[in-house]
Amino acid sequence: MPPCFRQVFIVFLITLILPSFLFADESHHKKLQMPVDISFAIVDLKYNTERGAQICEIQHGVSSSFKGCTFVNEGSNPIAQNLLKELDKFHDQSWLLFGAFMDETVEDVFIKDKKWILFPTLRTITLSTRFLIESSLPINDPADINTYHGLAILKPSLIKDRESLQDKFPGVIFLDNAIYSHRRDKHKMTELLMGHPLTKKHKPKWGLYQLENEEGLIDLINNDIGSDLLVIKPLRDSLGRGVIILKRDDLNEVMEYLFKRKPQGLPNTDPAYEFWLTTKEDCFLVEEFIDAQPVSVPHLDGKLYAPTIRLAFLMIYNKKEIEIVCLGGYYKFPEKSLSEEGSLNERYKTCCEPPYYSKGDPETMKLAEEQIKNVLFCLYQKFLGIAE
């Protein structure tokens, strides 16, 4: 068959099978296992000298914001630059769906790089002759990233069945295949952390509780967690929505609000409480509160704040070896300092807006990075299905 007809045939054949995977149900496919993987993740954590790094959340990097990175670096985004640098080591061409990155400053860095081909929609990628040809070419060594014909970054919500997608286009690697199914469920991620002694020590005490079973819940939470301060979290939301920091003595009042879901008599005006009025969640998480090492912030009048550290990582599985690369990080702060009057949320929960960011203390950042690298190494083995 002449090359031109072969290309047309490939385009026609794959076009026919597109509908079979674009909207397939994620819950109906078998566990994803791949000989290679590249996944982008961020870790939010508290750090103190007694407990070391204590993980608040592990999230999908593609769906994360890096406002703090651009703020502390005067408009540039070193995390995005380092991500691009690492990904560009493998291929001379790759594909990016417009809007795949939630943070526009990350996308801008990729758009300016000549190795990346930008497409406006998923269908335009999957109907691109060049993409179809490259994605169907043979792979000399499935365990070697360099023998694939490019990388593709898609918006996470567009593809329900990543395994079928990879099967249809085996010649390219889709970013985040290993972590995709864990991207939204805090409980699933926390359970994975608890399965190994090394990772367990970096996660605060926690419990999963039903929103429909109020009887005996206060005693159960106090027995499970046992700390004077607690943190309530929804299972699947992000950006701090629904996160409530409270005193143990206020647990009864807050539980009454969560269960009754009545707007009257709010404990305060914090919108975190309003989240629970309309949520469809039937479970919630409660965690031990971890106090962070206070830091003085020069551009915030030198006041002491309780920082949360955000670190970004690229996890790579290549030639049957795991590599964890730290792409950078920074401090995030609450709206109020430790000395100001305000609720616990106002003084301890990050507000995620400028100017409440700063560069991290180099020694603390390095210690946190090394500890989290060890955690991610163990966790990534589980994502890949290769844990012993």
Which position has the higher pLDDT, 122 or 41? Answer: 41
Cα distance between residue 378 and residue 387, in whole Å: 8
**Identity of the highest mean pLDDT range in 137-146, 184-193, 247-256, 270-279:** 137-146
Check residue 281 and give its pLDDT. 78
Contact of 86 with 327, CB cutoff 8 Å: yes
First to last CA, the chain: 47
Q: In the numeric block, which tokens belong to residue 162?
A: 């990543």
pLDDT of residue 10: 44
Answer yes or no: is pLDDT of 16 > 60: no
pTM given for the model: 0.88
Interval 233-253: pLDDT, tens: 887 776 678 899 999 999 888
| pLDDT top residue among 258 and 1 | 258
Which of 213-222, 282-291, 297-306, 366-375 has the lowest average pLDDT?
213-222
Q: Tens of pLDDT along 294-304?
A: 999 999 999 99
Q: Is the pLDDT of residue 23 over 60?
A: no
The amino acid occupying position 164 is S
363: burial class by Cβ within 10 Å (0-12, 13-18, 19+)? exposed
What does the pLDDT read at residue 24?
38
User: Between residues 220 and 215, which one has the greater pLDDT?
Assistant: 220
pLDDT confidence of residue 280:
78
In whole angstroms, give the CA distance from residue 148 to residue 280.
42
Beta strands, E only, 76-188: 94-97, 116-119, 151-153, 173-174
- pLDDT confidence bin for 336, thresholds 50/70/90: very high
Lowest mean pLDDT among 188-192, 293-297, 305-309, 345-349: 188-192
Domain-wise residue ranges, the chain: 3-20+33-38+76-180, 205-288
Name the β-bridge partners of 45.
55, 309
* pLDDT value of position 181: 77
Share of the chain above pLDDT 90, in %: 61
Beta bridge partners of 267: none
Pick the range with the lowest mean pLDDT from 26-35, 139-148, 184-193: 26-35
Residue 259 clears pLDDT 80, i.e. is over it: no
Query: Per residue in 91-139, pLDDT tens?
Result: 999 999 999 999 999 999 999 999 999 999 988 998 899 999 999 999 9
Spacing of C-alpha 138 from chain mean position: 32
DSSP reduced 3-state for 354: coil
pLDDT of residue 20: 40
Specify the pLDDT at position 79. Answer: 98
Does a cis peptide bond (omega within 30 degrees of 0) precede residue 355? yes
Of all residues in the chain, the percent with pLDDT exceeding 70 is 86
Is residue 28 pLDDT above 60, yes or no? no
Burial class (CB in 10 A: 0-12, 13-18, 19+), 176: buried
For residue 1, count other CB atoms closer than 10 A to its CB: 8
Q: What is the mean pLDDT of residues 376-385?
A: 91
**Residue 5: burial class (beta carbons within 10 Å; 0-12, 13-18, 19+):** exposed
pLDDT score recorded for residue 18: 44
The answer to whether 361 and 330 have CB atoms below 8 angstroms apart is no
CATH class of 205-288: alpha beta
Residue 160 pLDDT exceeds 50: yes
Report the pLDDT value the prediction gives residue 274, as an integer from 0 to 100. Answer: 78
pLDDT of residue 266: 52
Mean pLDDT (whole number) for 290-317:
97
What is the overall mean pLDDT for the chain? 86
